[in-house]
Amino acid sequence: MARKPTQQKRQVRSPSRVKRMLAKHRALKAVQRFAWLKKPLHLFLTKTISVPKLDVEVPFAPALAFAAVLGIAVGVGYWGAKSLFGGGGQVVHQSHTHPARQTHSLEGVILAEPDGDFGRPPLAYEEKVAEEVYEEPPLDAVLPRTSQDMSEPADQLESTRPSEVASLPPSDAVPSVVPPSAPDIQGPLPLWRKNAVAYDVPPGAPKIAIVIDDMGVDRKRSKRMWEDVDAPLTLSFMTYADDLEQQSGAARAMGHELMLHMSMEPSNAAIDAGPNVLLTAMEDGEIRKFANWGMDRFDGFVGVNNHMGSRFTEDARAMRAVLEEIHKRGLMYLDSRTSSNTVGPQLARQMGLPFLERNVFLDNENVIAKVLKQLGEAERLARKYGRSIAIGHPRDATIEALKSWIPAARARGFAIVPVSAILRQKMAEAQASSGAATN
């Protein structure tokens, strides 16, 4: 009996194999949609450009890619350098032994409002000061020292510590302050008196000086400060700000007094105090060079105060070099007291340099209520001692608080004065006390 031919076995495909084939089919179909790009892409990749002088053919695509990468690298480097060094005009850059550091993301630093150039904030404002309110020592502790005292080596100075404060004479016993141009001393006027803003203080009125640091970097808020807030404020311009002559001139035209804000080394090595910051590691000659660079940036200011500097102001050798250069120019020194161990006031007293110290720090917090609370502290000290000095910054809360507080403070009997008025009052008190002691 003949056998039936066997039926050919049907090929069985697994589900996974079917899926792979389907995916491959879809991929080929997708590629076909871009088939029209094949020819121009081939031409782009194979095209060359001729370099006549070298007599070579250079592939166009790699050359274009190299140029693009180079352009991006240069752009990133430029904006990185501008962010790091502040882009502040005639800057003498730090040597490689004193590198600057970024601080925009660090805590413990008061920053500008976040709307600087190209979306980045300006350089950091100040170190946050733990000692927000400082009451100065009694009057006999700030009198000029004897010639024997002035010869005391700087490294033997004692640390400055706040102490219980004896009240100064009542305000009605304080000698009245005369205009800065009055010839009440022999010889030519020092520069701080020539540049002082004229003022008219009611007799016996407690005096408050408002010093605004870090001016000129955040240009929008700096302008608001000198245009929107009643004069006279004392506006301290950063050494590395742009267009200092123009900005400071506009501020002075509005009736404000001018100071120079000089960058000094903070205790935290990670904090960037800006370009040309004075460092304790520098030799005296380099410190003097950078200090004079800052003081040559514009004219018309009465004195210098420190930007940051919690480490630098504790170093007697470094501070002596700076204060001597300030003294040579006939300027005054205002210690911002970023460290309670600052030796600035002691050294200034030794060399006969006119100096003052900050009493109240206004805006550790960019909150109007907090700024007003600190202004209340300035009022308390002014009533107690006849004068006080408060330091703030061109921040939104500070601007708004001062706009409402200054008229109200004047209505309460306070005199809002330039910082030179506080110095003249202090010197008059010292003279009166010294004369009474000799009689």
**Does 20 map to a domain?**
no
- Could you read off the pLDDT tens digit of each residue along the chain, which spans 439 residues? 555 555 555 555 566 777 777 777 777 777 677 767 667 766 666 777 776 666 667 676 777 777 788 878 877 776 665 554 444 434 444 433 333 333 333 356 676 676 555 555 556 667 777 689 988 765 544 444 433 333 333 333 333 333 222 233 333 333 333 344 444 445 689 999 999 999 888 888 999 999 999 999 999 999 999 999 999 999 999 999 999 999 999 999 999 999 999 999 999 888 888 889 999 999 999 999 999 999 999 999 999 999 999 999 999 999 999 999 999 999 999 999 999 999 999 999 999 999 999 999 999 899 999 999 999 999 999 999 999 999 999 999 999 999 999 999 999 999 999 999 999 999 988 888 776 666 5
**Does 110 map to a domain?**
no
pLDDT in the model for residue 122: 59
C-alpha distances (whole Å) from 419 to each of 101, 119, 221, 314, 413 are 32, 35, 21, 24, 18
71 lies in the same domain as 142: no
pLDDT in the model for residue 94: 44
**Does 55 map to a domain?**
yes
Which residue from 330, 345, 347, 335 is spatially nearest to 149, judged by alpha carbons?
A: 347
**Does 93 map to a domain?**
no
pLDDT in the model for residue 382: 96
Count of structural domains within the chain: 2
76 lies in the same domain as 132: no
272 lies in the same domain as 415: yes
Preceding peptide of 394 cis, ω within 30°: no
pLDDT in the model for residue 123: 61
138 lies in the same domain as 50: no
51 lies in the same domain as 133: no
pLDDT in the model for residue 22: 74
174 lies in the same domain as 320: yes
pLDDT in the model for residue 306: 97
278 lies in the same domain as 375: yes
64 lies in the same domain as 144: no
Contact 378, 360 (CB under 8 A): yes
How far apart, in whole angstroms, are the C-alpha atoms of residue 275 and residue 233?
26
194 lies in the same domain as 46: no
C-alpha distances (whole Å) from 426 to each of 169, 211, 261 are 12, 17, 22
279 lies in the same domain as 428: yes
Which residue from 67, 409, 406 is spatially nearest to 255, judged by alpha carbons?
A: 406
54 lies in the same domain as 176: no
**Does 100 map to a domain?**
no
**Does 51 map to a domain?**
yes
41 lies in the same domain as 190: no
- 61: containing domain: 36-85
- What CATH number is associated with residue 206? 3.20.20.370
Interior angle at CA 149, CA 145 and CA 150, nearest 5: 85
**Does 91 map to a domain?**
no
**Does 433 map to a domain?**
yes
